[in-house]
């Protein structure tokens, strides 16, 4: 296979994996991404004995490593995700693929936040912002990553100030030079990130309002995004003890849970179920508990491929 054909093949794979992730979640996407990445890495090791890797090939490899690392993170396979994301970052820098470097860094900051590594999440965001001049939309993305790290570490005022800066930068819009992958960081995504920060600060009422806005039109989202946004809203409503609303959202989640599997979402749903189980038993508490039990049955992780 020529270098040109290999690049085309790898980028087709990346597009397929992104589609799988959007439709079915990271657990499904990882089952395709991991063997594809292993196969490409094996090919590279053979080719490396004879020649210096083609720069375009190296860029395509970085792109496949990035989406594989993201899928593994979403599937809850965190050790593998950290290793492959580090490899994606190394290849991006070797290939001088700055746009991919930024995407990998934002993935790494997101994973650090998910794992509760507040300082790591913040430092990765600060590293990205220090790489050089970035567009307003890119700066806004890393500012919300920074704000979440600050919120997780209890720096309330710094987190709120950083969120305000992120909102101002977001308002400047997209630039022509912005990478194509930045399309998903839209107003809905900004609201979801701000809600996450408010939740991390314990402001569950405002967080729920922002999640409501972000999740207001799930039919316009990919199934996986609707699954994520609605589960975040349900979690905030449970935390705010708005149980009627939480039960309604939990029941709306069932079709997405039947279709998608994301360990990131399942972790949040399990936390909602655990919190609900501690509440005083009432008819609405039991309704919510039953709905959440349907969303996180014991064998759902196996069915979704967590043991793959």
Mean pLDDT of 91-117: 96
Mean pLDDT of 90-102: 95
Q: Tell me how far apart the alpha carbons of residues 278 and 272 are, in angstroms, rounded to a whole number.
A: 10
Say if CB 206 and CB 198 are below 8 A apart: yes
Q: What is the pLDDT of residue 305?
A: 44
Q: What is the per-residue pLDDT across 64-79, written as a single tens digit (0 to 9) for each? A: 999 999 999 999 999 9
- Would the pTM of this model clear 0.85, i.e. be above it? yes
Q: What is the pLDDT of residue 298?
A: 60
Q: What is the pLDDT of residue 53?
A: 64
Mean pLDDT of 201-229: 95
Which of 22, 234, 232 minimizes the C-alpha distance to 114? 232
**pLDDT surpasses 60 at 302:** no
Cα distances from 110 to residues 66, 91, 129, in angstroms, run 13, 20, 15
Q: Tell me how far apart the alpha carbons of residues 198 and 159 are, in angstroms, rounded to a whole number.
A: 9
Q: What is the per-residue pLDDT across 269-299, written as a single tens digit (0 to 9) for each? A: 999 999 999 999 999 999 999 999 999 876 5
Mean pLDDT of 142-163: 97
DSSP string, 245-272: HHHHHHHHHHHHHHH---HHHHHHHHHH
Mean pLDDT of 126-140: 94
DSSP string, 183-241: GG-SHHHHHHHHHHHHHHTT-HHHHHHHHHHHTS-GGGS-HHHHHHHHHHHHHHHHHTT
Q: What is the per-residue pLDDT across 2-60, written as a single tens digit (0 to 9) for each? A: 788 889 999 999 999 999 999 999 999 999 999 999 988 766 544 544 555 688 999 99
Domain ranges in the chain are: 1-97, 116-175+182-202, 217-308
Confidence of residue 260 (pLDDT cuts 50, 70, 90): very high
């Amino acid at each position: 296979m020529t270098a040109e054909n290999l690049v085309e093949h790898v980028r087709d794979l990346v597009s397929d994996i992104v589609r799988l992730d959007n439709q079915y979640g990271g657990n499904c996407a990882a089952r395709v991404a991991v063997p594809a990445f292993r196969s490409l890495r094996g090919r590279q090791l053979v080719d490396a004995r004879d020649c210096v890797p083609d720069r375009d090939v190296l860029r395509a490899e970085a792109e496949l490593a990035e989406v594989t690392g993201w899928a593994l993170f979403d599937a809850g396979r965190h050790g593998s995700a950290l290793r492959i994301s580090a490899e994606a970052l190394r290849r991006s820098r070797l290939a001088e693929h700055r746009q991919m470097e930024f995407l990998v860094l934002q993935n790494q900051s997101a994973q650090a936040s998910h794992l509760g590594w507040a300082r790591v999440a913040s430092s990765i965001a600060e590293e990205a912002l220090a790489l050089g001049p970035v567009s307003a939309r890119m700066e806004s993305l890393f500012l919300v990553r920074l704000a979440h790290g600050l919120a997780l570490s209890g720096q309330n005022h710094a987190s709120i100030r950083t969120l305000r800066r992120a909102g101002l930068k977001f308002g400047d819009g997209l630039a022509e030079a912005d990478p194509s992958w930045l399309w998903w960081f839209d107003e809905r995504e900004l609201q979801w990130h701000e809600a996450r920060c408010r939740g991390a600060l314990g402001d569950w009422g405002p967080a729920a309002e922002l999640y409501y806005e972000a999740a207001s039109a799930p039919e316009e989202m990919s199934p996986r995004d609707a699954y994520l946004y609605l589960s975040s809203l349900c979690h905030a409503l449970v935390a705010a003890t708005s149980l009627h609303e939480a039960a309604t959202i939990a029941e709306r989640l069932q079709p997405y849970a039947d279709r998608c599997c994301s360990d990131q979402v399942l972790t949040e749903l399990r936390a909602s179920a655990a919190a609900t189980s501690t509440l005083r038993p009432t008819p609405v508490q039991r309704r919510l508990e039953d709905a959440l039990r349907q969303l996180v049955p014991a064998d759902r992780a196996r069915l979704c491929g967590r043991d793959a």
